[in-house]
Amino acid sequence: MLLIVVALTTAVLPAAAVPGQSALITVSPTSQSQPTGAAQTYTINVSCQGTGGSQCGPNTTITIPLDTTTTPSMVDAAWKYSATSGLAGLITSGPTVVGTDLVMTLDDTNFIAGFSGSIELKVTPPNLRTPNRTSWTIEPTLSGDSITPITVATPAQSTATANPKVAVTKRTTNYGSVFDVDSTVGYTITARCNNASTGSLYVTDAVLVDTLPDDLTYVSSSPAGGTYDPVTHTVTWSFTDSDLSTMPAGCAAGATGTTTFEIVTTAPSVVPTQPKVINSATFSGTGPDATDLDGLTSTAKADVPVQLISEPNIKPGPGYASITKSSIAPIAQPGITKGNQYVATYAGDWLPPSAAPQWKTNAASAAYRTTVTYGLVNTYMTDLIDPLPCLDDVAGNLYSSSAISDPPCANPAFHAQVVEVRSQGFDTTINGLGQAVLDGWLPEATLTDGTIITLDAVGSITSTTASAYFEIPAGEDVATLRLPPHPALRNHELRLTVWGHADRTLADLNDGLNQLRNTSTAIPQITLGDELTHVEWSASIFTLPTKPQLGISKSFGTLGGATGGTTAVNIVGGVTTVDALTRDVVITDLLPLGMTWANPVTSATMTLTRGGGRSNTTTTASVKKVDDYQGSGRQLIRITVPYGAIDSAGVWTITPPANFLRVTTPVALGVYPNTDQIYLYGSRLTTIDTTCSTPTQGDGGISSAVFQNDNSMDLAGDSQLQEAYCENRASVTVKGTGAAFALTKTVQGDLDAIPRGALGVGNASPGGTGTYRLHWSNVGSNTLGRPVIYDILAHVGDTGVSQGQVDVFRNSQFATPFLGVGPLPAGVTVAYSSVENPCRPEVYPTRTDSCVDDWTTILPADLGTVKALRFSSSANYTSGNGFEVSFQVRVPSTDINAIAWNSAATNATDVTNPSNTPLPAEPPKVGIMAPVDPIISTVTSHDQISAYEQLSDQVIIAGTGGGPGTLAWSLLGPIDPVDNACTGLSWSGAPVHGSGTVTVTGDGPVIAGPTALGPGGCYSWSHVLSSTDPERPYRATASAGEANELTIATPYPPSIITTARLSIGAGGQRTVHDRVIIDNIPDAAPVPPSPLAWILHGPVALNAERGCEGVDWTGAA
């Protein structure tokens, strides 16, 4: 990107200012010129300084004197003023016209000492009314109660440009190009002012001059006011803004005069030596010029040649019939690269037309159009015969029309449904289609049984009718259409259009691949019934198998022209199908880097147009926005239309609501390419037609959408990485003014599905490769030449490439060995350097250190010696053009989880303005790394332990590349063992007993814990290792349940000692006591369960010694 530095003169407050605050104000640019109606933009920089006080106000204002001598005066309401500031709220009021000044008031709480900011002022002189070269001065003064008023030292000078936008067109009145001797030759002239929104100027005077050929004789002219000069052979109309009733409308404020003028002449009696004569018309308008009293004049010219003949031709020649034929259908036919590709259809009546269809791709299953034109008008009648393609006239898969002399076709391959006839009369009082029909003329149809019928018109016909539709009676099958000759149809053009469908049996013939060639024959007649030489022409419709054809259209709106300065993205999807869908339609857009969706939604109402004679419907589509899609830094927008909405055959278009997708407008100069895709969700490679349509091409054309099957990025989200879909592209260019260029750089590792842009890091396998691509483009208006790109390969200690970046470290952690350069565009060469600091004068012109100029265009035998590359082009590049180069490097297997950074710098020459010396540009760096997850090895401190004891985990980390990080550990449990073991258990949903983090300084062992266990059961550790160094990113995990991570905690084994005692009380009462001593409870254990459950068994029989030892307690109560 070029940086144009404008020298500004700063006015400094005198030292005498009281109480010590001061202010500065500047305005730029110092001069500029723009068309009227366009804003002239000024940057006003203001700042407030103060050591003894903080206020420059109160009552801080910027005042700009307005020139009242301009036309109109700058205080006139037609002048427009607006202003914005870098700090929101800095301007509290204005800009407002106050007397003869433009005033803006600043916020005193913001405009205080230490503040510096800018205001963008726009001044727009009125279009049409402002004279060319009107000039004025912008000279702001900044004032406030605490500062001495200060005026810019160098005011800004501005000039507005404008010129009259006169335009003239001319034709013969009857649209002919050939005339008989002694015939009337009339001309119709249209003179107007095609005023644009900017740079246009009302005229004060205008002149229309028609110069007649010497061989034609002037007869008359209209409207009144035209003056014929027999000497110069000219007809002249003069206009002035003092007579607005004759001044052509739009050429002056309030003008209401006609814009159409006619001249009638007579052809000579003998064909001149040069039979082609030319009539010329010029329209000139003069508007006011602020520096030239004579004003500024603009002139437009139009010529009309006609050929004179002695008598009408009776065979092809000047003035004779010419015939053309075309076809149109809903489906894009493969293999057609010029003209109209939409000439394919499905067999059968799958898209019935309306009663009055248009010549559109979605109007019917198919249509043919025949046009017969005559250069010699009002002479020839036409017998136009159109036999429709016939199933019986077949050669292979080609079905043709029968000859006009053959019997009617009994089995048409094409079935007519609606017919339109057009013939515009040049004098509708005596000719034209309306006059013919009112005289009883009607088109004829020969049915398959030989019956000839006339076709009734749809709607009313008047004498001025130029075109009309005619009905095919229900149930009738037409073999041939005919437009019989009639005197009222001797016009410049006769046109026949027929809408219909291919016979349904064609779906089962030749695998559905057939051609229907329709041939029409025109038979001119000067005398009714006297046939002249026939002329004929053919056009074809093709049938295809009934696979759906997808389509996608894409375009950008005006850059920054949508709400809030955003840019509109226009998307239209298409599905042409003979059946209802069974799969959802998915439309995707992976936005380019630098663009984000400004107005995201989760659903939207789509308008569905099915074509034919059927009405539109709507459906709700789900919408998903995925940020940083697959780590690309780009947003993916995915629109899903439910299959149930497309419930029948049709040429379906899917149109989002207005302003559905608005993206942030990029600010970096460059070209932003963008693609959209359309899928049938989850489809396979054979589901859709391999030719794609562009739904917005309703008039036909060559589809810009392309068929794809590599879905490795899974944009549709259906996990089908090989999938048939259609794609279309558009791009938007952010341009500078004058000379401007942009260099973008991407990197793609051998593990990446897509390249990564500014500050992105590509992923390569250890020992794998990284590919860098450099795209240079001219984004300005001037032509640029000799672009050069310098790229210094990554190495430890590397810095930027251009002069302004050589002190900025890139922070590469390893060097990337060079592997080779990709294909070079025409005119581009590459040179190699073996040093890390080569001379590069175009991007580093002034240097204090020494450099090595060892550049060579010979590739070294040892690629490892290449340390820098220079790409040079000998070509010139106009606006919007550029080139792309690439090269590849190796990512050493020894350097894992580290990043090597690469950047490049560029410059070029300004061919349009050689005195301009562009400044170098260097885009952000991109990186490459070999990401390898570290290995975590863990061993728990005990595989068996008592409950409530301390437990820890030794974690051995390897493969961090020395990068620091954090180990987050969790101890899960307890869960119940199975068969007194913890192996093979599910840890999903296990409670987290404890957790913590441990700082990691690279490879080596760390200890997780220790932490005290809880009750008995199974415990296991899990770990997440994450890098804390963005230059060495890594991540690794160890899940619960892995070997060496399991611990079974047994319940603590308390010891119980009991002693029974017998006590004899008063009266001989005996009492039994049991003294219980509980021991061996861990300190961390909770209070033992309470109460203690006891049972006293007995009595049982005494033993022989009348004691209790050895007695049998079985069954004791």
Percent of the chain with pLDDT over 70: 94
Residue 750's Cβ-count burial label (10 Å; 0-12, 13-18, 19+) is middle
Contact (CB, 8 A) for 138 and 30: no
Residue 138's pLDDT band, with cuts at 50, 70 and 90, is very high
CA atoms 890, 895, 899, 900: torsion sign = negative
Q: Considering only residues 764 and 539, tell me which one the structure prediction assigns the higher pLDDT.
A: 539
Q: Which helix (H) or strand (E) holds 434?
A: helix 433-438
Q: Tell me, what's the pLDDT at 281?
A: 98
Residue 740's pLDDT band, with cuts at 50, 70 and 90, is low
Contact (CB, 8 A) for 1045 and 987: no
Contact (CB, 8 A) for 900 and 873: no
> CA 24, CA 496: separation in Å to the nearest integer?
76
In the predicted model, what is the mean pLDDT of residues 281-302? 97
- With a CB cutoff of 8 Å and minimum separation 6, the contacts of 530 are none
The structure tokens listed for 629 are 């899609």
Residue 643's pLDDT band, with cuts at 50, 70 and 90, is very high
> Would you say how long the chain is, in residues?
1117
CA–CA distance from 882 to each of 641, 783, 788, 893, 910 (Å)?
38, 11, 12, 36, 14
Q: Tell me, what's the pLDDT at 86?
A: 57
Q: Give the residue ranges of DSSP H helices in 125-182.
A: none
Q: Tell me, what's the pLDDT at 781?
A: 66
In the predicted model, what is the mean pLDDT of residues 608-615? 92
The candidate with the shortest Cα–Cα distance to 505, out of 390, 649, 671, 670, is: 390
Contact (CB, 8 A) for 922 and 3: no
> CA 740, CA 6: separation in Å to the nearest integer?
16
Task: Give the DSSP letter string of 176-238.
Answer: -SEEETT-EEEEEEEEEE---SSSBB--SEEEEEEE--TTSEEEEEESTT-EEETTTTEEEEE
> CA 462, CA 88: separation in Å to the nearest integer?
64
Lowest mean pLDDT among 10-24, 404-418, 911-925: 10-24
Model pLDDT for residues 310-367, shown as the tens digit of each residue:
999 999 999 999 999 999 999 999 999 999 999 999 999 999 999 999 999 999 999 9
In the predicted model, what is the mean pLDDT of residues 286-315? 96
Lowest mean pLDDT among 272-286, 759-773, 778-792, 1052-1066: 1052-1066
Q: Tell me, what's the pLDDT at 255?
A: 97
The structure tokens listed for 436 are 């013919």
Tell me 881's DSSP state.
Answer: -
Residue 934's pLDDT band, with cuts at 50, 70 and 90, is confident
Q: Which helix (H) or strand (E) holds 59?
A: none
CA atoms 596, 599, 603, 605: torsion sign = negative
Q: Tell me, what's the pLDDT at 999?
A: 94
> CA 993, CA 971: separation in Å to the nearest integer?
6
Q: Tell me, what's the pLDDT at 758?
A: 77
- With a CB cutoff of 8 Å and minimum separation 6, the contacts of 1037 are 936, 1022, 1023, 1024, 1025
Residue 447's pLDDT band, with cuts at 50, 70 and 90, is very high
Domains and CATH numbers, the chain: 22-161 (2.60.40.10), 166-309 (2.60.40.740), 321-543 (2.60.40), 549-616+624-664+673-719 (2.60.40), 741-929 (2.60.40.1530), 938-1050 (2.60.40.3930)
SS3 564: helix
Task: Tell me if the bond preceding 412 is cis, omega within 30° of 0.
Answer: no
Q: Tell me, what's the pLDDT at 605?
A: 97
Residue 1080's pLDDT band, with cuts at 50, 70 and 90, is low
Q: Tell me, what's the pLDDT at 1105?
A: 79
Number of other residues whose CB lies within 10 A of the CB of residue 851: 14
In the predicted model, what is the mean pLDDT of residues 182-211? 96
Number of other residues whose CB lies within 10 A of the CB of residue 705: 26
Q: Tell me, what's the pLDDT at 113?
A: 54
Contact (CB, 8 A) for 588 and 679: yes
Contact (CB, 8 A) for 967 and 997: yes
> CA 311, CA 3: separation in Å to the nearest integer?
70
> CA 326, CA 360: separation in Å to the nearest integer?
12
The residue type at 934: P
The structure tokens listed for 304 are 């009309």
Lowest mean pLDDT among 25-29, 73-77, 231-235, 310-314: 25-29
Number of other residues whose CB lies within 10 A of the CB of residue 648: 13
Q: Tell me, what's the pLDDT at 8?
A: 27
Residue 1005's pLDDT band, with cuts at 50, 70 and 90, is very high
> CA 647, CA 821: separation in Å to the nearest integer?
52
Q: How many Cα atoms are found within 13 Å in the side-chain-facing hemisphere of 575?
A: 30
Model pLDDT for residues 472-520, shown as the tens digit of each residue:
999 999 999 999 999 999 999 999 999 999 999 999 999 999 999 999 9
The structure tokens listed for 365 are 């299953």
Q: What is the mean pLDDT of the chain?
A: 90
Largest CA-CA distance found in the chain, in angstroms, rounded: 169
Model pLDDT for residues 961-992, shown as the tens digit of each residue:
778 999 999 999 999 988 888 988 899 889 99
> CA 586, CA 403: separation in Å to the nearest integer?
48
Contact (CB, 8 A) for 115 and 50: no
Dihedral angle of Cα 939, 945, 950, 953, to the nearest 10 degrees: 10
Model pLDDT for residues 242-267, shown as the tens digit of each residue:
999 999 999 999 999 999 999 999 99
Q: Tell me, what's the pLDDT at 37?
A: 95
| Residue keyed to tokens 């329209």 | 283
In the predicted model, what is the mean pLDDT of residues 1008-1031? 89
Number of other residues whose CB lies within 10 A of the CB of residue 417: 21
Pairing of the two strands 31-35 and 156-161: parallel
Pairing of the two strands 184-193 and 80-85: unpaired
Residue 1058's pLDDT band, with cuts at 50, 70 and 90, is confident
Q: What share of residues in the chain are helix, strand, coil (percent, to 5)?
A: 5, 45, 50
Phi then psi for 458, rounded to 5 degrees? -90, 120
Lowest mean pLDDT among 86-95, 804-813, 1079-1088: 1079-1088
Q: What is the pTM of this model?
A: 0.66
The residue type at 1079: D
Percent of the chain with pLDDT over 90: 68
Q: Tell me, what's the pLDDT at 1044?
A: 83
Q: How many Cα atoms are found within 13 Å in the side-chain-facing hemisphere of 1013?
A: 32
Contact (CB, 8 A) for 28 and 158: no
CA atoms 756, 564, 561, 33: torsion sign = negative
The candidate with the shortest Cα–Cα distance to 643, out of 678, 608, 680, 618, is: 680
- Is the confidence at residue 745, as pLDDT, over 90? no
SS3 508: helix
Instruction: Dump strand ranges (E) for 834-925.
Output: 868-873, 876-877, 882-890, 899-910
**Which residues, listed in sequence order, are joined to residue 509 by a DSSP beta bridge?**
none
Residue 14's Cβ-count burial label (10 Å; 0-12, 13-18, 19+) is exposed
- Is the confidence at residue 1060, as pLDDT, over 80? no
> CA 92, CA 80: separation in Å to the nearest integer?
18
**Which residues, listed in sequence order, are joined to residue 1106 by a DSSP beta bridge?**
none
Contact (CB, 8 A) for 555 and 589: no
Angle CA 793–796–799, to nearest 5: 65
Q: Tell me, what's the pLDDT at 1003?
A: 86
Phi then psi for 375, rounded to 5 degrees? -75, -30
Q: Tell me, what's the pLDDT at 734?
A: 75
Q: Considering only residues 26 and 368, tell me which one the structure prediction assigns the higher pLDDT.
A: 368
> CA 184, CA 268: separation in Å to the nearest integer?
10
